[in-house]
Structure 1
Amino acid sequence: MSKRSIFEEVDGSKAEAPAVQPGMIDRGRGGARQAIRAWLMVLFALVVAMIVVGGLTRLTDSGLSITEWRPVTGAMPPMSEADWQSEFDKYKQIDQWQLENQWMELADFKQIYWWEWGHRQLGRFIGLVWALGFFGFLVARKIPTGWTGRLILPGALGGVQGAIGWWMVASGVTQGEGMTAVASYRLAVHLGLAFVILGVIAWYVFMLGRQERDLMQARRGKEAKLYGLSTGLLHFAFLQILLGALVAGIDAGRTFTDWPLMGGQFFPADAMYLEPVWRNFFENPGLVQFIHRVVGYLLLVFAVVAWLRGRGSAHVATRFAFNVAFAALLLQVTLGIVTVLYIAPLHLAIVHQLMAVVVWVLILRARFLSAYPIVTKIKGS
């Protein structure tokens, strides 16, 4: 008897071995990954623009010019002189005008009104871009498996951010309470959530930039210690961002303009004059700026530790990510010092705020590569 193949059926026919189907993991996930990534990158750029416009709105003292929250009808600006006068009359009722801006004429009011209107309008536009993109991909069934909930999150956070924005503005739209600006802690919450939204979008962009099978393989090589350090550094930087918002909210950056001392001494004078004592940590310019400085120094020390550990990574891309993040942080510290020495002029203050975004995203990038390292092949490297 002749030898029979193990693939031969009983009836004498030969069964063919099943063909290998490469990329089954990615095919199973499906979806328009690159198109969604491009859409998220547009959202990312818009949120950065929103942070910059929000900073300019604050620096020009324009945030209280619109005294009502009208999410739908507020999209239309005043269309006649009567409408403009009506808005101006509403503004005249609040403490900011009564105590600081009685010199304003209608033309002056229009300038600050346009800043705040533009800020709110940009928020509406971001919401529209998210809704069109999300529901467009959903209807076309192009969202990858497991990504629907993830893509809902930026839109949900954006809706919460709109409500927090009005909660912040409402703290300054007062009559007879002596408030001429928004509450600094509410400003910190508002800015903090903006950075959370930015971080969520950036993380998704990083993930969608690589194939699913690549991420699954890379996760096995996760550098746990570096991931922990970069996570700690990210949280530390977030705390400093919130403290920066407190400084900005009460113009504390223009109170003490020498460095490294404050008014010629290490600890500022009159750092505890407010009652009750806890108010000093939010409303005392000297103490708030002092805390911001000290936390900045501690953040730099922690960053040095993370950077030195990052240099020991086995992966070229991870080492580079830590190098760039540390360089950006050094630049940010320098910008902060220069901003104080020059009494926080508008252009330096905005660059300092924008650089915070850069540092935040670069730390997040280092964290991502610690969790999902890019393996460099020795051959051809």
Structure 2
Amino acid sequence: MMVIQTQDKDRRAIGYWLLFMAFMVFLMVVVGGATRLTESGLSMTTWKPITGILPPLSVTEWEAEFSLYKNSPEFKLKNYTMTVEEFKSIFYWEWGHRVLGRLIGLCFALPLAYFWVRKRIPEGYKSTLLFLFFLGGSQGLLGWYMVQSGLVNEPAVSHYRLTAHLSLALVIMSALIWNALNLLNPAPSETRKPVKILTHCLMALLVLQILMGGLVAGLKAGHIFNSFPLMNDQFVPDGLFSMEPFHSNFFDNAITVQFDHRIGAYVLILLVAFLFWKSRTGVSKNVKQGITLLSCLLIAQFIIGVVMLLKHIPVDWGTAHQGGGAVVLAFTVYLMHLQRRSISK
């Protein structure tokens, strides 16, 4: 569906590299979802950015790592019967997540240095690439800041920090895709103003839905009201605004957060259906194909979310739902890029 317009070898090389980096960040989001759902994120109680690339390799090293975990709130309050062998099963998820982060850093830094030294970076992109590298490093720091919140008193990370960590990963992925498309496809596609406006509205609502999804994950709100379409035989459940002050319900009340996430899904489906209807005429083939694919992806994401809820959030379906959200976001970025300047009214 994507037609590569540029013939410039340097723009192509860097564009494809950035798309590869976006795919790696997508994998990071998926692995991060699995790490969270397997409750593995607090298994590593120290952060060693340079020396922590190897896991424990001997019985003594495993015992030392397990001893550190025994001092954590998660072990003392939840996993106090856990053995070393059981500990390994959660440790490897978090270790893999961190190693993948380091690999992403290397896969960005080394090609960047190569392109820089060979003077192959197009004009105006050096500062952009440096900023993306800075964002990647900030994501690592934010990840550790999130983990720290679960190592103090309660064996659960802050849902605010978790939402911020997920959101920054998706911001980085989106920025990589946008800049890659700028390099590969300099010219926009024909579109109509109403279609462009609706696409921007869809992106705004999708961002809000992703933020609510992060809060749902952080509060484990998906583990209540595992029915659909009603919540405890009600469309509007009891306890929706039971917290004081009132505004805290939208951020700290698991009932309200799940309800809002459901409503957001309904509105997204209706909006993308309207966008599909408005795009029947007056837009390019690429835009029409992009809207059709995005519509299918959103419907699939909605179905995955419902099945995940009914199954009480199993790891495979929960991971698929988080990954699906990233895919929907990526294709929305692509669709916005196609329409970044209006050609026809």
Normalized against structure 2, the TM-score is what? 0.91
Corresponding position of 2:87: 109
Corresponding position of 1:81: 59
How far apart are 1:147 and its partner, in Å? 1.6
Kindly indicate whether residue 119 of structure 2 is the aligned counterpart of residue 141 of structure 1: yes
Aligned CA distance change for structure 1 residues 373 and 134 (closer, same or farther; 3 Å): farther
How far apart are 1:260 and its partner, in Å? 1.0
How far apart are 1:153 and its partner, in Å? 2.7
How far apart are 1:151 and its partner, in Å? 1.9
Kindly indicate whether residue 295 of structure 2 is the aligned counterpart of residue 326 of structure 1: yes
**What is the CA deviation profile of residues 278-305 of structure 1, one whole-angstrom value per residue up to 9, with x for unaligned ones?**
5443343222111111121122222223
**Which of 42, 50, 70 pairs up with 2:48?**
70
What secondary structure does 2:65 align onto? helix
- Please list, as runs of the form range in 1=range in 2, the aligned pairs for 1:232-251 lying within 5 A after superposition: 232-251=201-220
- Please list, as runs of the form range in 1=range in 2, the aligned pairs for 1:125-204 lying within 5 A after superposition: 125-174=103-152, 177=153, 179-204=154-179
Give the partner amino acid of 2:157.
V
How far apart are 1:173 and its partner, in Å? 0.8
- Work out the CA distance in 1 between the residues paired with 2:78 and 2:341: 53
How far apart are 1:273 and its partner, in Å? 4.5
Aligned CA distance change for structure 1 residues 278 and 328 (closer, same or farther; 3 Å): same
Give the partner amino acid of 1:326.
S
**What is the CA deviation profile of residues 47-106 of structure 1, one whole-angstrom value per residue up to 9, with x for unaligned ones?**
111011101100110000111222112223223322222221221112111111011011
Contact kept in structure 2, 1:322 and 1:366, CA below 8 Å: yes
Corresponding position of 1:21: none
Contact kept in structure 2, 1:315 and 1:374, CA below 8 Å: no
- Work out the CA distance in 1 between the residues paired with 2:163 and 2:175: 18
Kindly indicate whether residue 51 of structure 2 is the aligned counterpart of residue 100 of structure 1: no
Corresponding position of 1:15: none
Structure 1: stretches of 5+ with no match in the other structure: 1-25, 376-381
Decide which moves more: 62-71 or 129-138.
Answer: 62-71
Give the partner amino acid of 2:281.
G
- Please list, as runs of the form range in 1=range in 2, the aligned pairs for 1:1-381 lying within 5 A after superposition: 32-174=10-152, 177=153, 179-210=154-185, 212=186, 215=187, 218=188, 223-274=192-243, 277-371=246-340
**What is the CA deviation profile of residues 299-320 of structure 1, one whole-angstrom value per residue up to 9, with x for unaligned ones?**
2222223222233333111111
Larger Rg: 1
How far apart are 1:275 and its partner, in Å? 5.3
* Moved beyond 6 Å, runs of 4+: none
- Work out the CA distance in 2 between the residues paired with 1:277 and 1:91: 38
Aligned CA distance change for structure 1 residues 311 and 143 (closer, same or farther; 3 Å): same
- Work out the CA distance in 1 between the residues paired with 2:113 and 2:314: 42
Contact kept in structure 2, 1:311 and 1:323, CA below 8 Å: no
What secondary structure does 2:132 align onto? helix
What secondary structure does 2:339 align onto? helix
Give the partner amino acid of 2:262.
R
> RCO greater where, 1 or 2, for CA within 8 Å and sep 6 or more?
2
- Work out the CA distance in 2 between the residues paired with 1:101 and 1:278: 34
- Work out the CA distance in 1 between the residues paired with 2:273 and 2:222: 25
Count the aligned residue pairs: 339
- Work out the CA distance in 2 between the residues paired with 1:360 and 1:204: 15
- Work out the CA distance in 2 between the residues paired with 1:344 and 1:312: 41
**What is the CA deviation profile of residues 137-195 of structure 1, one whole-angstrom value per residue up to 9, with x for unaligned ones?**
00000111122122223211111111110111111111xx3x12111121111111111
Normalized against structure 1, the TM-score is what? 0.83
Aligned CA distance change for structure 1 residues 279 and 95 (closer, same or farther; 3 Å): farther
What secondary structure does 1:111 align onto? helix
Decide which moves more: 253-262 or 303-312.
Answer: 303-312
- Work out the CA distance in 2 between the residues paired with 1:261 and 1:335: 17
Name the Cα RMSD after superposition.
2.2
**What is the CA deviation profile of residues 102-137 of structure 1, one whole-angstrom value per residue up to 9, with x for unaligned ones?**
110111111111111110110011001100011110
Give the partner amino acid of 2:74.
Q
- Work out the CA distance in 1 between the residues paired with 2:180 and 2:343: 16
What secondary structure does 2:63 align onto? helix
How far apart are 1:225 and its partner, in Å? 3.7
What secondary structure does 1:169 align onto? helix
- Work out the CA distance in 2 between the residues paired with 1:360 and 1:206: 15
